[in-house]
Amino acid sequence: MNVLERVRVARREGDLASLLAAVPFMSAMGMRMTPRGDEVVGELPFAPPWIGNYTIEALHGGTLGALLESTAIVQLLWARDREVLPRLVNITLQYLRTGRAVDTFARAEILKEGRRVAVVRAEAWQEDPARPVASAQMHFLLR
Amino acid sequence: MSDRDRVLARINEGFATKVPYNAWLGLEAIDFGPGRAVFRLPARPDHVGDPERGVPHGGAITAAMDATAGAAVFLALETPLRIATLDLRLDYLRAAPAGCDLFFSASCIRVATQVAFTRGVAHAGDETDPFVSSVGTFMVFRGQASPLMGVGGEES
């Protein structure tokens, strides 16, 4: 079963676990993606390898980027059946606060979806969704 | 071991070995200069984002670019200060190649009083033929000596 077939099964069954299991990087990082209606909530459970600065016990910015991009792609896949996997054209990341050594969550909003390109904005937070630790805006090619 | 090798070993200790996520990714510093760093991201099964094409996940590429650009800023500073990524952009000039080591090269083009600016590329061995072009902005915390880089904007 390829990734897009897994997505179709996941959308029918309302469970994204088999999709994540098929993507080595996301499963190696222990990411979780939980559907909540039309939205997907991404989660990066804290683990010691995600640290970027051990003196202040801060998450590596790359782990936040990985969670934001992953959540955006899964949100695009969750929104509708697709012929091809969305391909990243560019990503602009803003680091807003120090990511602490706790679990991190993310959500993504499709700002615009055309025939060829989607614009997606994603935010990551820890305890308080109103205090994001990082955000990203991305363009994806859809065909 | 030459002086240059010793400096490279110190950079590797500071930026690769002692930074848990860089170590997890297998990042290795392979070249440096004033305000310039080059890292290698090894091809590993755990990095794959698209299992059908075998290409690495963008998250691994973003992380490697963040680390390389941060190291370039660090190597541009006269004294070791704490720095943190404020903003990082990656443009995919074409798809990332599958199944080969990737190279990340970044330069710090300006260190201002409180912020520093970087440019960088990612390539598969030929720096003149990159698949990613990147720009970054970093906070420089004057008065906060630190051997390492962090992430996140100003505390608030």
Supply the pTM of this predicted model. Answer: 0.94
Is the pLDDT at B142 greater than 70? The verdict is: yes
Q: What is the mean pLDDT of chain B?
A: 91
> Is residue A62 over pLDDT 90?
yes
The residue with greater pLDDT, B155 or B11, is B11
CB atoms within 10 A of CB A14: 8
Q: Is A97 within 8 Å of B84 when comparing Cβ atoms?
A: no
Helices A61-79 and B58-76 pack at an angle, to 10 degrees, of 150
Residue A138 contacts by C-beta under 8 Å, 6 or more apart in sequence?
A: A69, A72, A88, A89, A90, A91, A92, A119, A120, A121, A122
> Predicted ipTM?
0.95
How far is it, in rounded angstroms, from Cα A89 to Cα B90? 8
pLDDT digits (tens, 9 = 90+) for B98-127: 999 999 999 999 999 999 999 999 999 999
β-sheet bridge partners, residue B91? A90, B133
Average pLDDT over residues B77-85: 90
Question: In the predicted model, is pLDDT for residue A35 greater than 60?
Answer: yes
* Digit-coded pLDDT (tens) for A101-125: 999 999 999 999 999 999 999 999 9
CB pairs under 8 A between A and B: 163
- Among the residue ranges A12-16, A27-31, A35-39, B65-69, the one predicted with the least confidence is A12-16
pLDDT number for residue B154: 40
- B20 vs A: CB within 8 A: yes
- From CA B116, how far away is CA B21, in angstroms rounded? 23
Q: At CB < 8 A and 24+ separation, what contacts does B37-40 make?
A: B37/B11, B37/B68, B37/B69, B37/B71, B37/B72, B37/B74, B37/B75, B37/B105, B37/B106, B38/B68, B38/B103, B38/B104, B38/B105, B39/B15, B39/B64, B39/B67, B39/B68, B39/B71, B39/B103, B39/B104, B40/B101, B40/B102, B40/B103, B40/B104
> What 8-state DSSP symbol labels residue A71?
H
> From the centroid of its chain, how far is CA A103?
14
- State residue B93's pLDDT score: 98
The larger pLDDT score, comparing residue A121 to residue A57, is at A121
Which of residues 42 through 101 in chain A touch B, CB cutoff 8 A?
48-56, 58-67, 69-70, 85, 87-99
Mutation site, B13, B17, B18, B21, interface A, largest A CB count within 10 A: B21
Split at pLDDT 50, 70, 90, the class of B76 is very high
pLDDT for A11 equals 87
Say what the pLDDT of residue B152 is: 43
Contacts of A56 in chain B (CB under 8 A): 150
- Give residue A32's pLDDT band: very low, low, confident or very high (50, 70, 90): very high
Lowest mean pLDDT among A32-46, A127-141, B5-19, B135-149: B135-149
**pLDDT score at B7:** 86
Is B150 a residue whose pLDDT tops 60?
A: no
**Nearest residue in chain B measured CA to CA from A23:** B49
| Secondary structure (3-state) at B137 | strand
3-state SS, residue B122: strand
- Residue B147's pLDDT is 56
